[in-house]
Amino acid sequence: MADRLLDDTRNFLENFNPNTSERENRKLTRMIYQQSVRNRSRPYDEKGLVNGSGEDLCDCRRPDCPGCFFPCKKCSSDKCGPVCRANRKFVYKYLLTPTSGNTPVDIDEDPVRDRYYRRLTRKE
């Protein structure tokens, strides 16, 4: 009986592999799920680029704009509006510009915003 207990004790962790344990698999699955949910719910990634395409668009949405805002306090980019684009959850719909006489300019034809909202409203 004592010999059997010693054998069981010696063989207790014989087949254990920490890389393939159930706990590790659950952790990896949870991380992958959280990243996919985060990417679906945010139009910008952690670097301030457009999710999916990786474009570096200014908040004015002009593709040729080198950046028309003051440098961002967080990321030093000239393309962030009043709020940093990194992990931002919204896209601007209106802009106030000095040339528009301080009336809101609607950014109607915005491919980034349209793609973002189409992705959110699409049934999966």
Backbone angles phi, psi at 95, to 5 degrees: -130, 145
Q: For residue 4, tell me if it sits in a domain.
A: no
How far is residue 102's CA from residue 94's CA, in Å, rounded to a whole number? 11
Q: What is the structure's pLDDT at 1?
A: 60
Q: Report yes or no on whether pTM surpasses 0.95.
A: no
| Residue 11 counted as domain residue | no
Task: Decide if 71 is inside a domain.
Answer: yes
CA distance linking residue 81 with residue 89, whole number of Å: 13
For 116, the domain range is 20-121
Residue 10 lies in a domain: no
Report the C-alpha dihedral over residues 33, 38, 44, 45, rounded to 10 degrees. Answer: -50
Is position 14 within any domain?
A: no
Work out how many domains the chain is built from and give that number: 1
The model's pLDDT over 64-98, given as tens digits with 9 standing for 90+, comes to 888 888 899 999 999 888 889 888 888 877 766 66
Mind listing the pLDDT tens digit of every residue in the chain (124 residues)?
666 666 666 676 777 777 777 888 888 888 888 777 665 667 888 888 887 788 888 887 777 888 888 899 999 999 888 889 888 888 877 766 666 666 666 665 555 555 554 544 444 4
Spatial CB neighbours of 121, under 8 Å, sequence gap ≥ 6: none
Residue 15 falls within a domain, yes or no? no
**What is the residue whose two structure tokens read 């931002």?**
88
104 domain-assigned: yes
